[in-house]
Structure 1
Amino acid sequence: MWTTGAEQVEQAVGECVGLLGTVTGRDWHGPRAGRLEWSCREAAEHIADDLIAYAGQLAGRESEAYSPFEISLEEGTDNAGVLRVIGATGTLLAAAVRTTPPEVRAFHPYPFRSANREGFAAMGVAEVLLHTHDIAEGLGVTYEPDPALCDFVLRRIFPHVQPGPTPWRTLLWATGRGELPGRPALTEWRWSNNLVIDAERLTLQGVTPAAAADLSTVGDGGFAWLGGAPADGTRVGAGLVYKQYEDGVHRPDWGMYALVRREDGRALGAMGFHGVPDEAGRVEIGYDLVAAARGHGYATEALRALSAWALDRPETRVVVAVVERGNRPSQNVLARAGFTRVAADPEHLTYELRASGDR
């Protein structure tokens, strides 16, 4: 069943408070938190800072910057008091996630300057898991979170990271806190919220590995679909996206996008690339719509937007689409979007759209 992440925030915070609550009588100011420069106490306060900041971004619908406030603890607050604040701020983030509409995006700098409610939930869970680990390491306490929480984070904000032997070890490696056989140690890292590309009547919303896994079976991927379900082609494409993720070759910018109508938030179809541009700068694109959305120009609008985005990238020179000879509606979409037919075989026609300086 699809989740927005509120329950995961609550679970992560509950595990954190439960574990650290057993060592509140220890000195948190002196010991360093794992590999961080912060003390264990500073890391604990940072967890609360992040949780309330993320809640504020969603609640305030902040679109350009962080909401201009910060949290401060009363002088004399003891370690148990810090955990009370973590519990309260975690509850606030969970409430913000539950009450924020799916189409809302708020500012976060990495990497596309916005995130939706699921992204903020995943970032909040990540902050809790990782800094609880840091504090536990500094205090010599054993900590290993629920693997499902780690998987929740990885599939949403680490789409570029191939799954490893366990979700927890993979998350530690992906954040420079551990080692994985056959992978170089990381000294720098960023998580990655999904990209959203604007069109006139639509937004093209990047499909995360979590959404792709759900769509490839019988789920909705967190989208409200016109007609109640995606087209079969979307489910097939989502399965390919998730396979790329499992194989470690998924590049989220060059993956699948759900086409979401602005007026009502309904997903109408999907569009995406078959992979990254090749050495010649060629990238292939594909798409489909649910039956009820066809004939209204949505595919043409989305194709123009996504092709323009691709051709604005330095690694791309030409966008390619291959359609069946009998698929006249798709051929018309390509023609309206500015594509030119360049090749044919008995079953398929090939169309191209080139960058303006490469015609």
Structure 2
Amino acid sequence: MENIENIETARLLLRPMTEETATRVVRRAPAADDRWAPGYPTDGDVESATDFLGHCARTGDPQPFGDYEVVRRADDLVIGSLGFNRPPDDEGTVTVGYGLVEAARGHGYAAEALRALLDLARRRGITCVRGDADHDNVASQRVMTAAGMRFTGEDARVKYYETAWAGALRS
């Protein structure tokens, strides 16, 4: 497995999920040194960590295209998670998801974290990042727009967003 470093932003630390941390999230059982914000993990965090563990069991750790814990640097609390739903497909496309505990919403953290994840994807040669949000999840739609993703369409259930790069960098 490649050693994946934390991703730092102005206010956040995106810490790569490991099988050990994902297992604790799924069990909702923090270790003594875990600093989880009240409400973490959410049901969405548990679902994402479960998917991550499934990828690890089937094909090995997908990092850097796995999950990340979102840590607020001001108090070192894990306030949510975000990441890639699965490794890139043959065309270099990935899908992202994210979520924060209730108290951390509305402060721009999700857009800040998503911008960092989009930058990672671009630097790793990804050509397209996609996301979606339910029609009534206007906050998530705003997060994707604020992070630089553009609206590309909708169906009866969700609105779709994406960011694409021509000739993405390889590192």
Output the TM-score relative to the length of structure 1: 0.45
1:40-99 per-residue CA deviation (whole Å, 9 max, x = no partner) reads xxxxxxxxxxxxxxxxxxxxxxxxxxxxxxxxxxxxxxxxxxxxxxxxxxxxxxxxxxxx
Equivalents in 2 of 1:341, 1:260: separation in Å?
A: 28
Alignment correspondent of 2:164: 354
What is the CA-CA distance between 1:312 and the residue it aligns to? 1.4
* Alignment-mate amino acid for residue 245 of structure 1: C
Equivalents in 2 of 1:305, 1:317: separation in Å?
A: 16
Alignment correspondent of 1:233: 44
The answer to whether residue 145 in structure 2 is matched with residue 318 in structure 1 is no
Equivalents in 1 of 2:66, 2:20: separation in Å?
A: 13
Alignment correspondent of 2:100: 289
Equivalents in 1 of 2:165, 2:153: separation in Å?
A: 18
Equivalents in 1 of 2:162, 2:105: separation in Å?
A: 22
SS in 2 for 1:320: strand
| Structure with larger Rg | 1
- Are the counterparts in 1 of residues 153 and 160 from structure 2 also a CA contact under 8 Å? yes
Please identify runs of 4+ aligned residues in structure 1 that moved more than 4 A.
none
* Alignment-mate amino acid for residue 231 of structure 1: T
SS in 1 for 2:27: coil
Alignment correspondent of 1:112: none
Equivalents in 1 of 2:159, 2:38: separation in Å?
A: 30
Equivalents in 2 of 1:261, 1:214: separation in Å?
A: 19
- Are the counterparts in 2 of residues 339 and 352 from structure 1 also a CA contact under 8 Å? yes
Identity %: 34
Alignment correspondent of 1:92: none
Matches within 5 A, 1:22-61: none
SS in 2 for 1:252: coil
Matches within 5 A, 1:191-270: 192-220=2-30, 223-227=34-38, 229-270=40-81
Residue number among 147, 155, 158 corresponding to 1:337 in the alignment = 147
- Are the counterparts in 1 of residues 149 and 161 from structure 2 also a CA contact under 8 Å? yes
- Are the counterparts in 1 of residues 65 and 86 from structure 2 also a CA contact under 8 Å? yes
Matches within 5 A, 1:130-169: 160=1
Equivalents in 1 of 2:160, 2:39: separation in Å?
A: 32
Matches within 5 A, 1:36-185: 160=1
Choose 346-355 or 248-257, whichever is displaced more. 248-257
1:109-160 per-residue CA deviation (whole Å, 9 max, x = no partner) reads xxxxxxxxxxxxxxxxxxxxxxxxxxxxxxxxxxxxxxxxxxxxxxxxxxx4
1:211-231 per-residue CA deviation (whole Å, 9 max, x = no partner) reads 111111122365312115321
Structure with the largest fraction of helix: 1
Matches within 5 A, 1:294-309: 294-309=105-120
SS in 1 for 2:161: strand
Choose 221-230 or 330-339, whichever is displaced more. 221-230
Decide whether aligned partners of structure 1 residues 340 and 207 sit closer, same or farther in structure 2, where only a CA change above 3 A counts.
same
Equivalents in 2 of 1:233, 1:220: separation in Å?
A: 17
- Are the counterparts in 2 of residues 215 and 235 from structure 1 also a CA contact under 8 Å? yes
Residue number among 86, 109, 116 corresponding to 1:275 in the alignment = 86
Structure with the largest fraction of strand: 2
> Using CA pairs below 8 Å that are at least 6 residues apart, which structure has the higher relative contact order?
2
Unaligned runs of 5+ in 2: none
Unaligned runs of 5+ in 1: 1-159, 161-191
